[in-house]
Chain A
Amino acid sequence: MAIVDPARARRAPEPWNDPAAIPYVRIENVVKRFSDFSAVNDISLNIYRGELFALLGGSGSGKTTLLRMLAGFETPSEGRILIDGVDMAGVPPYDRPVNMMFQSYALFPHMNVEQNIAFGLKQDGLPKPQIAERVGAILDMVQMSQFAKRKPHQLSGGQRQRVALARALVKQPKLLLLDEPLAALDKKLREQTQFELMTIQEKVGITFVMVTHDQEEAMTMASRIAVMDRGEIVQVGTPNEIYEYPNSRFVADFIGSVNMYEGRLVEDESDHVVIDSPALGGTVYVDHGVSAAPGANVWLAIRPEKIKVSRTRPAGTHNITRGKVRDIGYLGDVSNYYVTLQSGETMEATLPNLVRLAEPAVLWDEEVWLSWEAENAIVLTS
């Protein structure tokens, strides 16, 4: 499946699509069992040099455990982890070419900003002038030079985040691990910092692996995302692939909002399928094939922003249904319309509010027609 991802176009190389590319980080059949459960269950993953890779999942998905195994704080029960071709088994955290930015930032409270950043270089026994030079350079990069002598408790949340990033980057690790890097920031600052982090990553060229539960964060920043659930990877792909081509109901539901309906495959051709869905009150035509036998039960997923709402019946025979507007959620930039279909199911449609102070396109309790293009419905078999 060759997909052109417009957002990623400037990061042209896609080593994961190149069979000759050598992965930089290789996670091979890694299992982590704690006394009574497995947090990570047979995960294999290749990460390429220069990627900003996101591990995305809810709590208990095993994403943090996987990150901690990369850092060396946890030892895999089975399987192995290779970084730049070197097996990390038995290599303690303090000898790994890996640095981590902690969720709490873990800045040393008894040291000032400069000392915090210099700590790692000191452990390597670098000469003092060299340490000073590198600390100065990284402080410049994160724009914290004027705060060099401050203690962590004298900094704001955003400033601490920068110091934590600088401290982890200054050793120029082969791999930088970020545990929920932006979770402690408020929304505005978080959005701003996302792009800053990406810029810095491009500048230093270090491979980043990030753990997050925030799908927007992962979508915005990551080159690829691994969606995790209960210790397993459900899907790996670019943000675009994950959003537009989810491979399961879990992923479709986890990323963004989605309308999901059960249906039965009635016609299966190589270029299209027809699905009978009582919930939608008719048949649905999808213009790509699926790997399931006719008669199989499937699920149909349609993103709310891909649904058109109109007062009159749109032209065409397929992919049209009717309902009554139950609720309208006004969010400013867009409005969410919750429409009760004749089958009793609900369909959510998102429409942009293009004109200021305009009346809503449709009103409460209005009968409307809902339609979508054949290419915009996703057929899921699991």
Chain B
Amino acid sequence: MLDRRSRLVLTAMAFAFAFLYIPIVSVIVYSFNESRLVTVWSGFSLKWWRELPQNTAMVSAALLSLKIAFVTATVAVVLGTFAGVALARYKRFRGRTLFTGLITAPLVMPEVIMGISLLLLFVMLERLTGWPERGFTTVAIAHVTFTMAYVAVIVQSRLVTFDYALEEAAQDLGARPAKVFFVITLPIIAPALVSGWLLAFTLSLDDLVIAQFVTGPADTTLPILVYSSVRRGVSPEINVLASIIVGIVTIGIIIATLLLQRRERIRRREAWTG
């Protein structure tokens, strides 16, 4: 018999999951809807799945978003790793508190403010130097700015449990510090980098507000397109697209979780027997 408390917990959990997943599930279900009206079920059909590839605006927006997300995640991982390593490694240096604040500020900064300040920067830069033209480049730069904060935090927290004797051992065996970083440190913290990359990718793919501010007229990302088309009346193709994205994200998260879990298991076993 379950006691009262655990029944309460289970009910609360069921509600939470329902809130989270019923909308997502309904999007997927309605992507197979026959009707042109998004909210009325009129029978099963693959019509909209077939029609999506014909909607060039939507496909190119999706591709653009994926491209931006890919570039963003990659650059953010590189910069964020350096920042995270600096934060974890150097406990005391001039301006450390300021540096920490600057790195983590984007985590708490309202997106609107990020967006408008970046827009001002880009406009001014373009007027002075002719670069960057607003569009792909500016959106990617803006996304790197706020996603690298997440990567830095992930890398930093991974390094808290990193055994620095490993780096010393590598140096002791004749490897120079730069080599030690690439041959020893990086491979060991790789799972953290992968999860940082996936998080940055998802955040970039998802972002509407900042992209809205800094993009140019030619480059419409997927969230912008979806948002503006909703105002004109939702096309069922959006459901299809949403289902695809949910699928991709789910697979990504599962892979990242499995990777991290495996590493964690190994690490725990090492700590246990060692």
Binding site for B on A (CB under 8 A): 71-73, 92-96, 98-100, 102-110, 119-120, 123-124, 152-153, 156-157, 160, 167-168, 171, 184
When the two chains form their complex, are residues B274 and A160 in contact, meaning their CB atoms are under 8 A apart? yes
Tell me the smallest distance from the CB of B88 to a CB of chain A, in Å.
Answer: 18
Tell me the smallest distance from the CB of A209 to a CB of chain B, in Å.
Answer: 14
The 5 closest A-B pairs by CB, nearest first: A123-B174, A120-B173, A106-B169, A106-B165, A93-B171
Tell me the smallest distance from the CB of B161 to a CB of chain A, in Å.
Answer: 12
A73 to B270, CA, bound (A): 25
Given contact pairs A153-B266, A156-B273, A106 touches B168 in the complex (Cβ within 8 A): yes
Neighbouring A residues of B188 by C-beta, 8 Å: 108-110
A102 to B171, CA, bound (A): 12
When the two chains form their complex, are residues A123 and B270 in contact, meaning their CB atoms are under 8 A apart? no
* Chain A CB within 8 A of B113 CB: no
When the two chains form their complex, are residues B266 and A100 in contact, meaning their CB atoms are under 8 A apart? no
Contacts A108-B166, A152-B270, A167-B169 known; 10 new A-B pairs at CB < 8 A: A93-B171, A94-B175, A100-B168, A104-B274, A106-B165, A108-B169, A108-B170, A110-B187, A119-B173, A123-B173
Q: 27 A–B contact pairs at CB < 8 A?
A: A71-B168, A92-B171, A94-B174, A94-B176, A95-B174, A98-B172, A99-B173, A100-B168, A100-B169, A100-B172, A103-B165, A106-B165, A106-B166, A106-B168, A108-B188, A109-B188, A109-B270, A119-B175, A120-B173, A123-B175, A123-B179, A153-B266, A153-B270, A153-B273, A157-B273, A167-B173, A171-B174
A102 to B172, CA, bound (A): 10
Tell me the smallest distance from the CB of B168 to a CB of chain A, in Å.
Answer: 6
**Cβ contact of A171, chosen from B169, B173, B179, B273, cutoff 8 A:** B173
Chain A, Cβ-Cβ closest to B166: A106
Tell me the smallest distance from the CB of B40 to a CB of chain A, in Å.
Answer: 55
Given contact pairs A73-B168, A93-B168, A105 touches B173 in the complex (Cβ within 8 A): no
Given contact pairs A120-B174, A124-B174, A102 touches B169 in the complex (Cβ within 8 A): yes
Binding site for A on B (CB under 8 A): 163, 165-166, 168-176, 179, 184, 187-188, 266-267, 269-270, 273-274
Interface centre among A93, A160, A171 (most CB of B within 10 A): A93
Neighbouring A residues of B170 by C-beta, 8 Å: 108, 119
Neighbouring A residues of B172 by C-beta, 8 Å: 71-72, 93-94, 96, 98-100, 168
Interface centre among B163, B172, B176 (most CB of A within 10 A): B172
A120 to B163, CA, bound (A): 19
When the two chains form their complex, are residues A104 and B173 in contact, meaning their CB atoms are under 8 A apart? no
Tell me the smallest distance from the CB of A382 to a CB of chain B, in Å.
Answer: 37
Tell me the smallest distance from the CB of B180 to a CB of chain A, in Å.
Answer: 8
A168 to B176, CA, bound (A): 17
Given contact pairs A94-B174, A108-B184, A157 touches B274 in the complex (Cβ within 8 A): yes
Chain A, Cβ-Cβ closest to B184: A108
Tell me the smallest distance from the CB of B192 to a CB of chain A, in Å.
Answer: 14
When the two chains form their complex, are residues B165 and A94 in contact, meaning their CB atoms are under 8 A apart? no
When the two chains form their complex, are residues A105 and B174 in contact, meaning their CB atoms are under 8 A apart? no
Neighbouring B residues of A103 by C-beta, 8 Å: 165
When the two chains form their complex, are residues A106 and B274 in contact, meaning their CB atoms are under 8 A apart? no
Neighbouring A residues of B179 by C-beta, 8 Å: 123
A106 to B266, CA, bound (A): 15
Neighbouring A residues of B266 by C-beta, 8 Å: 109, 153
Tell me the smallest distance from the CB of B20 to a CB of chain A, in Å.
Answer: 36
Tell me the smallest distance from the CB of A147 to a CB of chain B, in Å.
Answer: 14
Neighbouring A residues of B171 by C-beta, 8 Å: 73, 92-94
Chain A, Cβ-Cβ closest to B190: A110
Given contact pairs A110-B188, A119-B170, A123-B174, A104 touches B165 in the complex (Cβ within 8 A): yes
Tell me the smallest distance from the CB of B91 to a CB of chain A, in Å.
Answer: 12
Chain A, Cβ-Cβ closest to B167: A106
Tell me the smallest distance from the CB of A171 to a CB of chain B, in Å.
Answer: 7
Neighbouring A residues of B269 by C-beta, 8 Å: 153
Tell me the smallest distance from the CB of A104 to a CB of chain B, in Å.
Answer: 5
